[in-house]
């Protein structure tokens, strides 16, 4: 079986928080709520769109309104595939992906972003060709931190030895539940102290990742 690296997307390979913030504020204003500061919506990212919208409503004192939440999830998803203009790739990501591929490693994505928006932003940023598998938050019956989507990515890659790379508490828990080594990107969207996130290696510069992956797969 092949060796592989599976990546989270938002906060790991790309900084999508500005687009998500802009989309959330348009939605909130349309529904009569006050907009958010960027740090507020960034704190809601990581567990999928329904959770994100639930956090937005709770922050505006509108929790426990399922019909409104369902409508806002629908409206948010309707514009999610085109919410790419403010998103950027973290420094060194394209070069690192090419370096990993040159090491005969297969590469995949496992994200809680829905699959269609994930593929749309990868295409916009010209990253699609690097990945053999893209598993989104709606690709399987469960989202991270359940290990099901990560296992689906691994199965799609036909991989035996795998490293999971992410940036958050959700990713750390997913790796632990899947029994995989976890490499933590420290510049992403984690909520608490980095020291509290279980990980096998941590990095702030993608130039270090090939060496880390080599060590973790050894």
Whether 143 contacts 114, CB under 8 Å: no
Give the C-alpha distances (Å, rounded to integers) separating 188 from 59, 64, 87, 168.
Answer: 22, 30, 13, 7
Q: What confidence score (pLDDT) does residue 96 get?
A: 98
Whether 209 contacts 166, CB under 8 Å: no
What mean pLDDT value characterizes the chain?
A: 97
pTM of the model: 0.95
Catalytic status, residue 8: yes
Q: What confidence score (pLDDT) does residue 72 get?
A: 97
Count CB neighbours of 94 within 10 A.
16
> In the structure encoding, which two tokens stand for residue 182, read together?
């976890």
Number of H helices, E strands in the chain: 9, 8
Measured distance CA(199)–CA(138) in Å, rounded: 26
Gyration radius of the chain over CA positions: 17
Measured distance CA(206)–CA(96) in Å, rounded: 6
- Mean pLDDT to the nearest integer, 139-163: 97
Map out the domains of the chain with their CATH numbers: 2-15+87-217 (3.40.50.1000), 17-78 (1.10.150)
pLDDT band of 1, cuts 50, 70, 90? confident
Q: What confidence score (pLDDT) does residue 101 get?
A: 97
Q: Would the pLDDT of 190 be above 80?
A: yes
Tens digits of residue pLDDT in 26-62: 999 999 999 999 999 999 999 999 999 999 999 999 9
Q: Would the pLDDT of 188 be above 90?
A: yes
Measured distance CA(48)–CA(51) in Å, rounded: 6
Tens digits of residue pLDDT in 70-129: 999 999 999 999 999 999 999 999 999 999 999 999 999 999 999 999 999 999 999 999
The angle subtended at Cα 148 by Cα 180 and Cα 177, nearest 5°, is 35
């Amino acid at each position: 079986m092949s060796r592989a690296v599976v990546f989270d997307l938002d906060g790991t390979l790309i900084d999508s928080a500005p687009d998500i913030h802009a989309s959330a504020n348009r939605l909130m204003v349309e529904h009569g709520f006050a907009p958010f500061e960027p740090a507020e919506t960034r704190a809601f990212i990581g567990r999928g769109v329904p959770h994100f919208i639930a956090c937005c409503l709770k922050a505006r004192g509108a929790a426990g309104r399922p019909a409104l939440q369902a409508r806002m999830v629908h409206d948010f998803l309707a514009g999610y595939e085109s919410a790419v203009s403010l998103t950027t790739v973290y420094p060194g990501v394209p070069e690192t992906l090419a370096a990993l591929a040159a090491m005969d490693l297969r590469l995949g994505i496992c994200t809680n972003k829905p699959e269609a928006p994930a593929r749309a932003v990868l295409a916009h940023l010209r990253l699609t060709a690097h990945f053999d598998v893209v598993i989104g938050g709606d690709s399987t019956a469960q989202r991270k931190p359940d290990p099901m989507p990560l296992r689906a990515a691994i199965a799609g890659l036909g991989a035996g030895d795998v490293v999971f790379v992410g940036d958050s508490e959700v990713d750390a828990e997913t790796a632990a539940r899947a029994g995989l080594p976890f490499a933590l990107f420290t510049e992403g969207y984690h909520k608490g102290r980095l020291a509290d996130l279980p990980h096998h290696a941590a990095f702030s510069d993608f130039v270090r990742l090939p060496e880390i992956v080599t060590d973790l797969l050894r």
